[in-house]
């Protein structure tokens, strides 16, 4: 029989489980924290008072008219700081001459103006990429099967000013054209919108996780079998992300984003450690849809897995998270 002294000598003196014993203690020693202040809710807009659920994104709708106002009212009550707006145009309404769609009276700009009037305290973040408007579904202008860089920049800079005139608080260019941030910054400043911020999709990868989003904005059928690999980043590359972020910051970006989220936590960490600037991450449509589909099959606990995924972004260094689950997550956090 072992003596007491020998038993004690075999025990570890450091027992990490002691700090996990009680719920109150786990809260005290938690290294990363998720709060409603970390959340941004993306919203799909349509020029229709009815609302339509997106089949590949259960619980997410295209909204217009009073239903949009009612939904953003719920977001406001939950104290979510900001929303990101994306318009939906069906294929038959898209035009070869995309310039004709990017005017002050289009329904995105009308929605911005209306939302700013009703909810002046909510941040309105808007995108200027052209995939929501083009007949081919690409993020930029196309000629001879090539995505045009500088011509696209000139057009989206004009559209950024148009959105700022409507009341957008922050422009979030996602099309990954070289030099776009500098062109947009110059255009905004020249038009008197030097206070409008730029949240750059600085490290946006050519990912397969965007499928449900393309359903939501109507670009999937337009894109067909084409891809966006000539301008979005190769998933194999990490150091290139640091070059992209550095260039966007030099051109005047106020904050940067990594997209997608969970498969690119290493990039979030690298960007935050290298630049120490406001760093956002986008939990994209495919990430959301996977958790939803698995939970509907009874294979996963949706709320638990969602919270785990979001806290992973905070642990990696993200300051803010765009997630389709932001509203639901805010409700969970409110429950405690």
E strand map for the chain: 39-45, 52-53, 61-63, 82-87, 123-126, 141-143, 146-148, 170-171, 197-204, 255-259, 279-283, 320-323
Determine the Cα angle at 134 with ends 133 and 137, to 5°.
110
In whole angstroms, what is the distance from residue 168 CA to residue 147 CA? Answer: 27
How far apart (Å, rounded) are the C-alpha atoms in residues 172 and 59? 24
- How far apart CA 97 and CA 27 sit, in angstroms, is 55
User: Which structure tokens are listed for 80?
Assistant: 């979510």
User: One of 91, 116, 195, 204 is an active-site residue; which one?
Assistant: 204
Question: In DSSP terms, which residues pair with 170 in a beta bridge?
Answer: 125, 197
Q: Check: CB of residue 175 under 8 Å from CB of residue 150.
A: no
**Can you tell me the distance from the alpha carbon of 149 to that of 183, in angstroms, rounded to the nearest whole number?**
12
Phi (first) and psi of residue 197, to 5 degrees: -85, 165
Which listed residue (6, 116, 228, 259) is catalytic? 259
136 touches 226 (CB < 8 A): yes
204 is catalytic: yes
Residues that are catalytic: 204, 259
């Amino acid at each position: 029989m072992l003596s007491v002294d020998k038993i004690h000598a075999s025990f570890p003196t450091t027992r990490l489980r002691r700090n996990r014993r009680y719920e109150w203690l786990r809260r005290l020693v938690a290294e990363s924290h998720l709060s409603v202040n970390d959340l941004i809710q993306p919203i799909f807009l349509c020029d229709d008072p009815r609302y339509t659920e997106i089949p590949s994104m259960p619980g997410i709708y295209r909204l217009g008219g009073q239903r949009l106002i009612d939904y953003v009212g719920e977001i406001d009550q939950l104290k979510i700081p900001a929303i990101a707006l994306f318009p939906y145009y069906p294929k038959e309404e898209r035009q070869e001459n995309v310039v004709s769609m990017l005017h002050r009276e289009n329904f995105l700009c009308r929605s911005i103006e209306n939302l700013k009037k009703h909810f002046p305290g909510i941040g309105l973040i808007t995108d200027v990429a052209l995939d929501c408007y083009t007949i081919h579904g690409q993020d930029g202008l196309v000629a001879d099967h090539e995505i045009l860089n500088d011509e696209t920049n000139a057009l989206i800079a004009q559209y950024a000013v148009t959105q700022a005139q409507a009341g957008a608080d922050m422009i979030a260019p996602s099309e990954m054209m070289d030099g776009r941030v500098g062109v947009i910054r110059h255009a905004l400043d020249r038009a008197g919108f030097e206070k409008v911020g730029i949240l750059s999709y600085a490290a946006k990868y050519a990912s397969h996780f965007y499928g449900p989003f393309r359903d939501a904005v109507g670009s999937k059928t337009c894109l067909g079998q084409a891809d966006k690999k000539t301008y979005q980043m190769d998933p194999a590359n990490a150091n290139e992300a640091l070059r992209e972020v550095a260039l966007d910051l030099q051109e005047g970006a106020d904050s940067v984003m990594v997209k997608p989220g969970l498969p690119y936590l290493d990039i979030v960490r690298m960007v935050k450690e290298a630049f120490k600037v406001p760093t956002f991450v986008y939990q994209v449509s495919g990430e959301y849809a996977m958790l939803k589909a698995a939970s509907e099959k009874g294979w996963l606990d949706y709320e638990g897995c969602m919270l785990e995924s979001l806290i992973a972004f905070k642990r990696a260094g993200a300051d803010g998270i765009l997630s389709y689950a932001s509203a639901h997550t805010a409700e969970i956090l409110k429950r405690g």
